[in-house]
Structure 1
Amino acid sequence: MSDTGRPWEGRVAFVTGAVTGIGLGVAQAFADAGMRLALSYRNEDDKARTADWFAAKGYEQPLFLKLDVTDRTRFAEVAEDVVAHFGEVHVLVNNAGVSVFGPTDEASYDDYDWIMGVNFGGVVNGLVSFLPKIKEATGRRHVVNVASMAAFLPGPQAGIYTASKFAVRGLTESLRYNLAPYKIGCSLCCPALTRTNAWTSALKRPDGFGESGFPDMPKEALEQFGTAFEEGMDPYEVGTKILNGMTEQRGLILTHPEHGPDFEEIHAAVMAALPIEEAPEGRLRIEQLRRDAMKAAEEGLHYNIDDLT
């Protein structure tokens, strides 16, 4: 494996939700970089189309693994299967998710359990199942958790979706410090509008989560909403930007340039909300210890609770 030119060549990656949308774009970008792939899927037709793409390129066929990311038992089996097949696993991309929207004040328990279970619980299950395997591997390694610009930008119809992506953001930004001592990179990726069929998630609601509080949306209205996705970024471009972010060891990978005004507004609002007053010396000292600990952890030092006081 070379650290120049094709630094990920020969590395083994497992990608969830990898036969459509952003997951497929990641898989294709990784394959073009010489990586060996294990890909999770739900739909047989999507799997077949993905296999055809690899065959047409003359690439090694991925190890395809059927997986519902909320199934912890199956996720653990998949992790074992990947290592049994390839010998090691070096990269985990937690990508699978559902894009479901509705007024948060009308949401049911089932709405919360389904959306949070996939978008946040699926990431948790990936980490618990795969991190021990990645720690056992050697060489260049990385974890990418794919969230969304919703991890920064809330909306009135996206309360639970936004909560799930905020949760992935917080988890990933903290996990980065835990993985640094093992020389494992960790990135949060927050894509924005991408040319995918994510809008069809509402049509695939599992029977076990049938009691929705959201108003019924006519299929025609949902299809009209889906036309917005046609303006989105090509998933392969998103995948390439994720690969580049991994190579550059970036903790945050933003793929879309159009959100500058949003971040400027967020920054201004946060700064305006800070009280203009002196903080006591003791609190200033504790916060400086926290900052020092974060910097040291990112540089690969183990830090414990007692290092923060």
Structure 2
Amino acid sequence: MREFRGRTAFITGGGSGIGLGMARAFLDRGMNVVVADLLDSHLADARDLLSSTNRLHCIRLDVSNREAMREAAEETTRLFGKVHVLCNNVGVSQRKPIDEAAYEDWDYVLNVNLGGTIAGLVEFLPGMKAHGEGGHVVNTSSMAGMIPVPAFAGVYAASKFAVRGLSDSLRLALAPYGIGVSVLCPGMVKTRAMTAGDVYRQAHEGAGADEKRDTIEGGMDPFELGDIVADAIAHNRPYIFPHGEFREEVAGYFNEMLAAFPIEFELDERRRASEERRAKMTAEAKAMADALGQAE
């Protein structure tokens, strides 16, 4: 999607951090932007930082609430019309190690990180496909969705691996509609994502908490990351890996997986034929997805 001006983007978790960086990048390129966030303080920050334009609209949203996501999609369409860019960006974590997490810990993280992404797709994709003007979906995963992580981040990683997997498949599915898909896998960014977990959870559970937490220092500037995302959309890149320090670790992880495959094996002809058909279908869909935007 090369042309941004006059088009509309919807961003979850858009009131701070990475989402706020995307919002500014899109506004700078002439888009209408709807920022959705659960915390009023984050929405207030977004209005203060980005309110020099009438192309910004803020919505308080719990992404795990499907009806609320439906209403947000309807509100966005009423206000700005067709949606061209969907950023399923919101993400939360929790404190317990993966081997000690209770049902409520799993439900909280998965309902927001994975369930919120699914809700965004269910409510926004029909309209994006129907208007026929193409567009782009950005799903925020994490480097925790690419490589093993310590136990304290295990539940979070499970949700982010799922987001990465669905994004790979979604890219193939949406290519015939002219809609690209990128999965964003950041490392450390100057956000409140890890320190605001308790606050998000209290607000999510209706406890009314709405306070600011400390920003993670030493990470990438979220406004720099927003520009990286916009550039990836313009070039229809399937993966957005902004943090080069992970390259060798990812290579080692994937090489370990490759080494686990048998080199010599027997293959039944029916199985071979089935796998060849599947591989051909995947290759054809991938070629179509990768070709989006090349003629623009």
Question: For residues 272 and 130 of structure 1, do their structure 2 counterparts lie closer, same or farther at Cα, with a shift above 3 Å needed?
Answer: same
SS of residue matched to 1:38:
strand
Alpha-carbon distance between aligned partners in 2 of 1:49 and 1:153, rounded to the nearest angstrom: 33
Give the counterpart letter for 1:255 in structure 2. Answer: P
Q: Deviation of residue 48 (structure 1)?
A: 2.3
Alpha-carbon distance between aligned partners in 2 of 1:181 and 1:163, rounded to the nearest angstrom: 30
Q: Normalization by structure 1: what TM-score? A: 0.85
Q: Deviation of residue 99 (structure 1)?
A: 2.6
Alpha-carbon distance between aligned partners in 1 of 2:37 and 2:205, rounded to the nearest angstrom: 21
* 2:248 corresponds to which of 261, 265, 276: 261
Q: Which runs of 5+ in 1 are unaligned?
A: 211-222, 302-309
Question: In 1, are the aligned partners of 2:14 and 2:37 still within 8 Å (CA)?
Answer: yes
Correspondence for 1:216: none
Correspondence for 1:52: 48
Q: Which runs of 5+ in 2 are unaligned?
A: 207-212, 290-296
Correspondence for 2:229: 242
Alpha-carbon distance between aligned partners in 2 of 1:101 and 1:248, rounded to the nearest angstrom: 37
Worse-matched range after superposition: 278-287 or 164-173? 278-287
Give the counterpart letter for 1:290 in structure 2. Answer: R
CA-to-aligned-CA distance 1:233-258 (integer Å, 9 cap, x gap): 00111111111111111111111111
The structure with the largest alpha-carbon Rg is 1
Q: Percent identity?
A: 40
Correspondence for 2:21: 25
Q: Normalization by structure 2: what TM-score? A: 0.88
Correspondence for 1:296: 284
Correspondence for 2:186: 191
Alpha-carbon distance between aligned partners in 1 of 2:129 and 2:197, rounded to the nearest angstrom: 36
SS of residue matched to 1:233:
coil
CA-to-aligned-CA distance 1:259-286 (integer Å, 9 cap, x gap): 1111221122012111121332523333
Is 2:118 the partner of 1:124? yes
Count of matched residue positions in the alignment of Structure 1 and Structure 2? 280
Correspondence for 1:139: 133
Correspondence for 2:9: 13
Matches within 5 A, 1:270-289: 270-280=257-267, 282=269, 283-289=271-277
Correspondence for 1:173: 168
Alpha-carbon distance between aligned partners in 2 of 1:50 and 1:183, rounded to the nearest angstrom: 31
Runs of 4+ in 1 over 4 A off after TM superposition: 207-210
